[in-house]
Chain A
């Protein structure tokens, strides 16, 4: 069985992507607080929901990135 090696560069990149997802989820939270006229303290009190939404964003992004990777791979094989 072949071991899978994940480079530190790759881990750092994934963490940066997740951080972007958290930021995006926070912005969504800000939008929802403004739209539904609720309290600003929800930025803290609903942090668990924000992190969960960030995970959803990350998974959706992973699907998109996977699809892009597969497309690129297919094109490379076709041209190469």
Chain B
């Protein structure tokens, strides 16, 4: 049966209706109330109970006593880092004790937002703070592995922004270091905490769309993807997403989100992939592709088709999970049934009378009707979600709680490795123009 307008798993809907716009103490109080409600829901939802990364949220946030606070340091105070600051300032039981960035204007701007935080330009010096519980890494991709390894060595818990690492070998090194560390690790894939994606997963698990036969994901933008720079000499440093020395561009910075969702929903990692990429529009000295197309092969003949470009944004971004009974557009939060539920009988009767009066009598017609996209609005996956949180705020609260509880979540590393390796396979396939297989012997 196709559900009508959905509710979040086990009443999460009511929990998500909170005002996220308030800041400071009021915002922290709102977030505390929100997390308390979330703890109740997380303890009662069958679906959430199956998702280990939600388990720390079952514990209510602690009081504001200084001794109970989790002290975190943030490295990388750029766009993403600043978003983390906004969320952490509202997260109860968390103290942002240190900020680190080797670009001083960013560091100073960050320090101006966080009262009492210590500033560092060298990450290793930040790790020397003995009372620091964990670090959040929001730096260019090529620095993730070194920082994760250093942090584990220093006994710190780690929240690392996606994608996990710059090479598959580095992914393996992080997984190995994590295994022996007994520390909490979390990856910045906030869709794992998004109520809309939870609802989508619930529908997939309940068989609403049938067996997943294909996932199509895309992320389209129209812009050169450059940050404004005060001096041309800072281009590579501030626009690192465009240069191979630092990143794998669209694959690691955008595709990793959707590949994580694909792996999560399919419950598997890809077996192999092929793909093409090129720079066909933004020929401005960048080294990384401005359009990518990759096809991933999964067990049971399922394919995930991913494409991304930054020269047309009409379709925006989406993850389309397809099955014989329906399609879910998770980003838009809508379900499209292949056979929509019938209209009420009286409406059907009125329509049939209307057709009898006004329809023309066909004398001859087309023998072929084009399979154009069906013009249907579908059904909303969740009711109005007023949280203003795409999952990032919840994920940071989960990280803080996991540290407080001393509760590492190995499944989080699995998600991080699967998506991280996936996108690196895609990048290699495009660069070397060959089919790339999942690395044999990769161990999480």
Contact = CB atoms under 8 A, between A and B. Distances in A.
A28 B349 contact: yes
Interface residues of A, number: 16
Interface in A9-66: 28-29, 31-38, 42, 45-46, 49-50, 53
Contacts of B130: none
B433 interface: no
Interface string B324-360: 0000000000000000001011111110000000000
B340 to A, nearest CB: 14
Contacts of B348: 32, 36, 38
A36 B348 CA distance: 8
Contacts of A36: 342, 345, 348-349
B346 A46 contact: yes
B347 A33 contact: no
Nearest to A46: B344
B354 to A, nearest CB: 12
B232 to A, nearest CB: 65
Tell me what chain B mostly uses at the interface: helix, strand, loop, or mixed: helix
Contacts of A35: 345, 349
Given A36-B342, A38-B342, A31 B347 contact: no
B342 to A, nearest CB: 6
A30 to B, nearest CB: 9
A36 B349 CA distance: 8
Contacts of B344: 32, 38, 42, 45-46, 49
Contacts of B342: 36, 38
A32 B345 CA distance: 5
Interface in A56-79: none
A33 B344 CA distance: 8
Most buried by A among B342, B344, B346, B350: B346
A52 to B, nearest CB: 10
B350 to A, nearest CB: 8
Contacts of A28: 346, 349
Nearest to B349: A32
Nearest to A38: B345
B345 A53 contact: no
A32 B350 CA distance: 9
Nearest to A37: B345
Interface string B284-308: 0000000000000000000000000
A46 B344 CA distance: 7
Contacts of A42: 344-346
A52 B342 CA distance: 21
A22 B23 CA distance: 55
A15 to B, nearest CB: 23
A31 B344 CA distance: 12
A78 to B, nearest CB: 36
B357 to A, nearest CB: 14
15 contacts: A28-B349, A32-B344, A32-B345, A32-B348, A33-B346, A36-B342, A36-B345, A37-B345, A38-B344, A38-B348, A42-B345, A42-B346, A49-B346, A49-B347, A49-B350
List 10 A-B pairs, minimum CB-CB distance, nearest first. Answer: A32-B345, A32-B349, A38-B345, A36-B345, A33-B345, A32-B346, A46-B344, A36-B348, A42-B344, A29-B346
Given A49-B344, A50-B346, 19 more contacts: A28-B346, A31-B349, A32-B344, A32-B346, A32-B348, A32-B349, A33-B345, A34-B345, A35-B345, A37-B345, A38-B344, A38-B345, A38-B348, A42-B344, A42-B345, A42-B346, A49-B346, A49-B347, A53-B346
Interface of A: 28-29, 31-38, 42, 45-46, 49-50, 53
